[in-house]
Structure 1
């Protein structure tokens, strides 16, 4: 499903269930040594998806260990993103010559838990969400915005090596076009010396009770 949100040249793998008793890939054991079983299984499945996606680029199987902020550490010359939620695991990768960065996220199509919305949105975003909900109440716009912000962060971090708070990017969702835009409220200085980031554009879809979002940054 998520390949529909990504440009040509991106390699994707996704699944909707874990395999029973699947072993941790060699070299990744430390990442889940203390994890509960549910966390271990989602990690193992999502990493398998990542290796399947890498195979689509001709990259041999390799450990994908977490970095300083738990971000996946990709092989040289590759950018990518991993996501997992109840009933979904997925990964997307691309050659660094095609994309500078990418971020994907999956969420259940359900309203955010009580009290979360104010913590992850700005006042202007909440006003727009209220308008969308009044016009199109069948869509959980609050969860969609949360997912979009997760994708924005996953695209942001590899380019800046800095955290990005929920209040440091203002998002606008286009209900008709299936896109969203993020305006950065903090400097977007990149570690590679390229032109500073000012914002992101992403795409979204809702299918099979899942919200999927994706952000890509061209090389």
Structure 2
């Protein structure tokens, strides 16, 4: 088997190790892959390997180490035209920063991912990032900013038929409307949520 195909197979095996919580084995495989792609100066593939290592470390609870790997991956992806990889790394870095309580840094990563998602015409990732940015604004006490982000995210989910995220965002809007005493808006959200859940129940049954 040609070396390139063997490396592709190794990437799949690394993913299986990750899925089955064989963390050391997964990191070893991603490290081998990183060295292989470094020999060909394939920056985007090196970035993917670093994200793989970061994902393993994050699942293992080693959040600071995971963050460093994501940041290293971003340094490599910045030297390549692979916007999708950069977007995924920004989302991952934002998530781990959020878990570490570094919400300003997380917000910055989500904002970058949001912009890249717009350029890539990726509405699901954009809606995900908007919700996360809204959560951060709410944590900062900026309810108006959170409300705008949640409303925009909800509309995007409607436009592009992303019901899972829509339910999550509507639940956040419901809490904000209830706390603010916006009863008309609250009633509208309650009705929409009920309709979505009825549709889901009908589809399942």
Which TM class, normalised by the smaller chain length?
under 0.3
More strand by share: 1
More helix by share: 2
**What TM-score, normalized by structure 2, do the two folds share?**
0.25
**What TM-score, normalized by structure 1, do the two folds share?**
0.24
Bigger radius of gyration among the two: 2
Identify the structure with bigger relative contact order (alpha carbons < 8 Å, sequence gap 6+): 1
